[in-house]
Each structure stands twice: as C-alpha cells, then as structure tokens.
C-alpha cells in the first residue's frame, strides 16, 4: 500500500483523556492518498462502482473551554470503488474558520458546551457563537460534495472524486444551510432548510440541478427552534417544529440550553416542493424529538414519514460519567431512547396517525435509495454502545413482517453510518451492499468493510486496510460514478448553452 502524505496541518492540540478526544474519537490530523487499498479478507464485489464519503470530527486546536464531540473540525474520508479495486483519500474541509485558526495557530471559537464570551470572534449559524466546522453531514449534488453543520453553516463544497476544496456554496443564503439537505436524483434538485434566532425562524429552499437557488421561502414558527432533519416526497417537503428547543429565558442571556417544553405537541409542516408559506399543511403529533428520518412517500391521500421517535428527549445524566454526565447522555441513544416509528398524515382529514415499528433502540438508518420517496420494506439502522455515541452493529428491520436481522461487531470495534447500495443485477429490495468504515480499538487500526445487505448477520464479505486509524464521526453518503458522469455532462451542456 503506497501512501502519499499531504503537507501537515498546524495543530496545538495536547494529548487528552476526554472521552470524545481519545480512543475511537482520537483526532486524526494527517491527510493522505492511497491508490489501492490492500484486501485483508474476502473479495471486493466488482459491481460496486462509486464513492463512499464519511464526515468525521477531528479537533485540530486545544479547546478554549470544554469540548463536545460535535465541536471537531470536519475531515472527509473517501473510498472509491471501481473494477474490484479501491482507492482512499482524506481531507479536512477548509472552512473560513478552519483557515482562520490555521493562520492563528490556535483555537478562536468556543464549543457547544461553553458559556457566552468564550469565542474570540463572531460565530456562524443558528447558535451564533460557534465556528462553522461543516462536520455534521455530507451529500453529493450536481457533482459537488456538500459538507454542512447541524447549527447552520455556509455549506462547503468539495470535489467528491479528488476531495479538492471548492469553497462555500454560492447559493447559500444569509441564514446558512442546516445539515441534512435532501437530493432527488430523478429531478436533480436539492431541498434544504435553515433555522435561526430571528423571525420567521426557519426558511426552506430548493437548489436546481445546475446548482442555482431556484426557490427560497420563510416557514414561520412561534420562536427559535432546533430542527435537525427534513424529508421529501415527489410532491412534498416535510419540516418540523418540535417541543425540544432553547429555554427562552436563558436565551435572553445568550445561554443556549435546550429543554422539553411541556404541553407543546410535535408539529409537522408539509409544503409543496415549490410552494409558498400559505400552502403549508400543518399536522400535530405526540411530543418528542427526532434526529433523523429514514424515508417519506405518498400513499393515496396520505403522506407517510418514518424516523426515530425519542421516548426521552431530555435524558437523565449518566452519573458514572462524572463531569461529562450530561454530555454523554445527550449523545447516547440508550439514554434518549430512539426507536423506529411511522407517522401518517391524512391530507383529507388533517389527522396524524402514529405507529411504533420496533422496540429496539436504534438510529442512523438507511434504505435502498432505489426506494427513496416510495413505499419501502427494509430499513438498516445502527446499534450503539450503551452510554456512548459509537456504532457497534446493524439491524435490518422488515416493516412487512416485523422481523429483524442483527449484526454485532466484536467488543472494541466500531462502525460508521453506512449507505445501502443496490446490486447491479439485484431483483429484490435487499439485493444490495453496505459499505462502512471500522475502527478497531483492539488493534489500533481502521478498515473499510462491505456487507451483504440481504444477510448482514454473516458479517463482512470483504475488508480492506486503511493507512491510519480514523476518528469517529457522524454522517456518510454514496454516489455512483455513473451519476457523477451524468451530472458533469449536464453542467458542461448548461455552461455551453449559457
């Protein structure tokens, strides 16, 4: 395995025993290219022909105050599959904040857990004092990879094939772009939202296939909220207003402390894809908080939405974690108790019907993308290590039978969010592959692994050695080489026509 290393970044970080700056969350600072990864088990499926991208958290400088796992600088890891061979590279996302701290040689912004006044410079997005790390999500649209921050940042562009940094998205609005924009591969459109501390508190937009902001409208809310994800169908975009949001009295003192507001229901805003505020259909549901949706589709006069209902959005502290007791609870699925759930919005009656799909605690789910915005049968979710934000396996849930198939990693080995990739000759919904990164704390190594989505219990069909141990992180995506080629051809035609 021949490794080409890039010029080192400047770092002031000191060794730490912080639970989210050590072990599987130990920051990685080197950037490398590897033309071909070594296969250490099995055989790479030859019909895998695309790029897997994962966003990870890698703090570069010593924190000004307390550290939260979501404070880290964005590092994108990429593996590219073609003709049974796999290459690898990784790069930091060069946001304005990353560049400013590189120039200064130290941290300039405080973190999510820090009090007002910690940051030395004005912050970005909904929180107002955080740096724009772009370290939450990663999607590919119009042959550009977009890295985004959950607190609404500027949306940072990279070339998905080379990971060259391409600057901030030119279409990004003043209030930024939240993590979890959605791409409709059929139309080439990207739907996104943002949120802020000033009226109307939320906006919704559509970026067309050429990368132009084609639609942008307000979504009026009663006050500042903390939405995290959205969903789409061919006709509708689904936004939310949930009862977990900042305490208004503390917010007046610039203290960002989220709590559940008793007596307030969950509300869903269904807006036609290119609709106006007066076109919104509002639905009320049981109070909860939802981090991630898995799919949405239309079913006659109903719109169906699936995701992870939290039974305890304000979890009890994990006392044995000491000074980290609250932080550990709020990133632990077993503390906030997230379970697969279904909401049905009846457009004729205005009623919302809810249904629990599984009692198992899971999150970070994926479906076969060929069934996006359609009725689907299977959802592949991650399981997690109790008390931690670490994925230790997968569950395939069958919504027709309720059956679940489980794959659990060995103790000390942790996975990534994992896209489901249809097999080229697949006839069934679960004729697909799952691609993931593994962090093996027992050996101090990392790997890329492929599982058969139809038989996850069998474990990886192949594993490839990565050149270094990566840090854990949040979201991932997959894009086919064929899709990238189509998007590039479209953009060239559009430029020629212009």
How do residues 174-214 score in pLDDT, each as one tens digit? Answer: 999 999 999 999 999 999 999 999 999 999 999 999 999 99
Give me the count of residues in the chain.
498
- pLDDT-derived band at 491 (thresholds 50, 70, 90) equals confident
Query: pLDDT per residue over 432-454, tens digit each?
Result: 999 999 999 999 999 999 999 99
User: Is 3-497 in CATH node 3.20.20.110?
Assistant: no
User: Which pLDDT score, from 0 to 100, does residue 482 have?
Assistant: 95
pLDDT in tens, 223-239: 999 999 999 999 999 99
* Helix, strand, coil percent values for the chain (each to nearest 5): 15, 40, 45
Return the pLDDT at 495: 74
Question: CA-to-CA distance for 179 and 229, rounded, in angstroms?
Answer: 7
d(CA 473, CA 210): 30
Residue 161: the pLDDT is: 97
Query: Backbone dihedral region of 52: left (phi > 0), alpha (psi from -120 to 50 degrees) or beta?
Result: beta
Our measurement of the distance from residue 97's CA atom to the centroid of its chain's CA atoms, rounded to an integer in Å, reads 20
Q: What's the per-residue H, E or C state across 315-373?
A: CCCCHHHHHHHHHHHHCCHHHHCEEEEEEEEECCCCCEEEEEEEEEECEEEECCHHHCC
Q: What is the mean pLDDT of residues 60-72?
A: 97
Averaged over 241-269, what is the pLDDT?
Answer: 96
Q: Is 17 exposed, middle or buried (0-12, 13-18, 19+ CB in 10 A)?
A: exposed
Can you tell me the distance from the alpha carbon of 188 to that of 210, in angstroms, rounded to the nearest whole number? 8
**Backbone φ, ψ for residue 127 (5° rounding):** -70, -40
| Rounded Cα gap, residues 121 and 130, in angstroms | 9
pLDDT in tens, 212-221: 999 999 999 9
Q: What is the mean pLDDT of the chain?
A: 97
- Rounded Cα–Cα distance for residues 192 and 239 (Å): 10
Closest CA to 1 of 29, 32, 45, 42: 32
**CA pair distance 417, 477, nearest whole angstrom:** 8
| pLDDT-based confidence at residue 493 (cuts at 50, 70, 90) | confident
Q: Where are the domains of the chain?
A: 3-497
Span 290-308, pLDDT tens digits? 999 999 999 999 999 999 9
pLDDT higher than threshold 80 for residue 496 = no
Rounded distance between C-alpha atoms, residue 431 and residue 452, angstroms = 8
Query: Could you write out the three-class secondary structure of 182-247?
Result: EEECCCCEEEEEEECCCCCCEEEEEECCCCCEEEEEECCCCCCCCCCCCEECCCEEEEEECCEEEC
pTM for the complete prediction? 0.97
């Amino acid at each position: 395995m021949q490794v080409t290393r890039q010029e080192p970044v400047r770092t002031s970080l000191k060794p730490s025993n912080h639970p989210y700056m050590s072990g599987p969350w130990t920051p990685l600072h080197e950037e490398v290219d590897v033309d071909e990864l070594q296969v250490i088990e099995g055989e790479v499926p030859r019909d895998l022909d695309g790029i897997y991208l994962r966003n990870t958290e890698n703090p570069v400088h010593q924190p000004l105050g307390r550290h939260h796992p979501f404070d880290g600088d964005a590092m994108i890891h990429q593996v590219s599959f073609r003709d049974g061979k796999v290459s690898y590279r990784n790069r930091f996302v060069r946001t304005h904040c990353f560049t400013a701290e590189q120039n200064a040689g130290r941290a300039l912004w405080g973190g999510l857990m820090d009090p007002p006044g910690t940051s030395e410079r004005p912050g970005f997005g909904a929180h107002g004092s955080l740096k724009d790390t772009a370290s939450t999500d990663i999607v590919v649209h119009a042959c550009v990879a977009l890295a985004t921050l959950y607190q609404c940042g500027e949306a940072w562009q990279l070339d998905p094939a080379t990971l060259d940094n391409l600057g901030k998205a030119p279409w990004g609005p003043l209030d930024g772009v939240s993590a979890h924009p959605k791409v409709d591969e059929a139309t080439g459109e990207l739907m996104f939202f943002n949120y802020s501390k000033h009226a109307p508190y939320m906006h919704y937009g559509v970026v067309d296939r050429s990368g132009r902001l084609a639609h942008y409208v307000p979504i009026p809310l009663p006050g500042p909220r903390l939405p995290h994800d959205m969903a789409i169908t061919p006709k509708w975009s689904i936004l939310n207003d949930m009862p977990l949001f900042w305490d208004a009295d503390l917010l007046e003192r610039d203290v960002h402390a989220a709590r559940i507001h008793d007596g307030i229901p969950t509300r869903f805003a269904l807006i036609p894809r290119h609709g106006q505020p007066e076109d919104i259909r509002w639905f009320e549901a049981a109070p909860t908080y939802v981090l991630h949706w898995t799919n949405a589709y239309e079913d006659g006069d109903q719109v169906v939405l699936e995701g992870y209902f939290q039974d305890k959005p304000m979890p009890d502290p994990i006392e044995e974690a000491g000074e980290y007791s609250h932080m550990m609870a709020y990133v632990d699925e077993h503390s906030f108790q997230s379970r697969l759930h279904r909401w049905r919005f009846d457009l004729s009656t205005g009623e919302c019907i809810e249904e629990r799909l599984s009692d198992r605690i899971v999150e970070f789910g994926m479906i076969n993308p060929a069934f996006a915005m359609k009725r689907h049968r299977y959802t592949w979710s991650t399981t997690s290590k109790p008390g931690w934000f670490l994925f230790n396996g997968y569950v395939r849930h069958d919504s027709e039978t309720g059956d679940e198939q489980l794959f659990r990693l060995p103790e000390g080995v942790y996975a990534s969010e994992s896209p489901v990739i249809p097999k080229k000759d697949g006839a069934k919904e679960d004729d697909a592959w799952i691609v993931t990164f593994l962090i093996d704390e027992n050996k101090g190594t990392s790997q890329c692994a492929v599982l058969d989505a139809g038989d996850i219990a069998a474990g990886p069909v192949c594993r490839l050695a990565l050149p270094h141990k990566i840090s854990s992180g949040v979201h991932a995506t997959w894009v086919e080489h064929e899709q990238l080629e189509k998007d590039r051809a479209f953009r060239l035609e559009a430029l020629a026509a212009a």
